[in-house]
Amino acid sequence: QVQLVESGGGVVHPGGSLRLSCAASGFIFSDYALHWVRQAPGKGLEWVAVISYNENIQHYVESVKGRVIISRDNSKNTFYLHMNSLRPEDTAVYYCARGPFLTGIDYWGQGTLVAVSS
Amino acid sequence: DIQMTQSPSSLSASVGDRVTITCRASQDIRNDLGWYQQKPGSAPKRLIYAASTLQSEAPSRFSGSGTGTEFTLTISSLQPEDFATYYCLQHSNPPWTFGQGTKIELK
């Protein structure tokens, strides 16, 4: 079955950096676009970034552009969210997800908490 | 960016009620829309894709309709396990965008 497992969350000071990882199994990793979605405490879902199956395409929500990079390693069935210049408003549970461009997000990980606080 | 306006933001209902949630897109998104259910402390689960296709594991009391800019999610007979928050997500153009969510509470 499809499994997505996030890691790398934690507490970081404003201006700091963090790298989230998502380990995937149960499907042909290199066939799928992959996403990060976040949810601030008590708030709704916010789509953050996507990377295409072959890494050629990445898109980001405006609020993270220039501070965040999505990447993947198809040899390790793992993808990443590299976050820099973190702000308190980046505090959220970050979910990794699988989602072809044509059909949308179908499977989600369980989430990892990122807390940006001094 | 495409804005998704979801309504209502919350509703109170009873077991057995028929419930309808609406998402309106700020521009034509064809049928590039999914509906998700989220329970507290858990990741979202997809119920509907391509606006009206039921996800294989989802109960048949859930249905979706619409195309273009207006979409609905209907629960034909609300069950106790359906009390949750529901979101729409458009994947027509990046950045993909969610509706604000609809929380269904017990009346």
- A8-56: per-residue pLDDT in tens? 999 999 999 999 999 999 999 999 999 999 999 999 999 999 999 999 9
Distant-in-sequence, close-in-space partners of A74: CB < 8 Å, separation ≥ 6:
A29, A30
Split at pLDDT 50, 70, 90, the class of A95 is very high
Split at pLDDT 50, 70, 90, the class of B13 is very high
**Count of alpha carbons within 13 angstroms of residue A82, beta-carbon side:** 6
Q: Do B32 and A104 lie within an 8 Å CB cutoff?
A: yes
Average pLDDT on A86-104 reads 95
Place of tokens 């990079």: A69
Which structure tokens are listed for B78?
A: 């609300």
Average pLDDT on B71-96 reads 97
B46 touches chain A (CB under 8 A): yes
Return the percentage of chain A with pLDDT > 90, whole number: 97
Q: Do B34 and A104 lie within an 8 Å CB cutoff?
A: yes
**Distance from the A15 Cα atom to the nearest Cα atom in chain B, whole angstroms:** 24
pLDDT tens, residue by residue, B16-29: 999 999 999 999 99
Question: Is the backbone peptide bond immediately before B8 cis, with ω within 30 degrees of 0?
Answer: yes
Q: Do B34 and A44 lie within an 8 Å CB cutoff?
A: no
Split at pLDDT 50, 70, 90, the class of A101 is confident
Return the percentage of chain B with pLDDT > 90, whole number: 98
Nearest by CB to B98, which of A46, A60, A109? A46
Distance of alpha carbon B107 from alpha carbon B104, whole angstroms: 9
B103 touches chain A (CB under 8 A): no
Q: In 10 A of CB A43, how many CB atoms?
A: 11
Place of tokens 């980046």: A90
Q: How many CB pairs under 8 A join A and B?
A: 57
A111 touches chain B (CB under 8 A): yes
B34 touches chain A (CB under 8 A): yes
Nearest by CB to B46, which of A59, A95, A105? A105
Identify which has the larger pLDDT, A101 or B95.
Answer: B95
B100 touches chain A (CB under 8 A): yes
* Coil vs helix vs strand at B16: coil
Distant-in-sequence, close-in-space partners of B95: CB < 8 Å, separation ≥ 6:
A47, A59, A60, A61, A62, B1
Nearest by CB to B34, which of A35, A44, A105? A105
Distant-in-sequence, close-in-space partners of B12: CB < 8 Å, separation ≥ 6:
B105, B106, B107
In this predicted structure, what is the pLDDT of residue A84?
Answer: 97
In this predicted structure, what is the pLDDT of residue B107?
Answer: 87
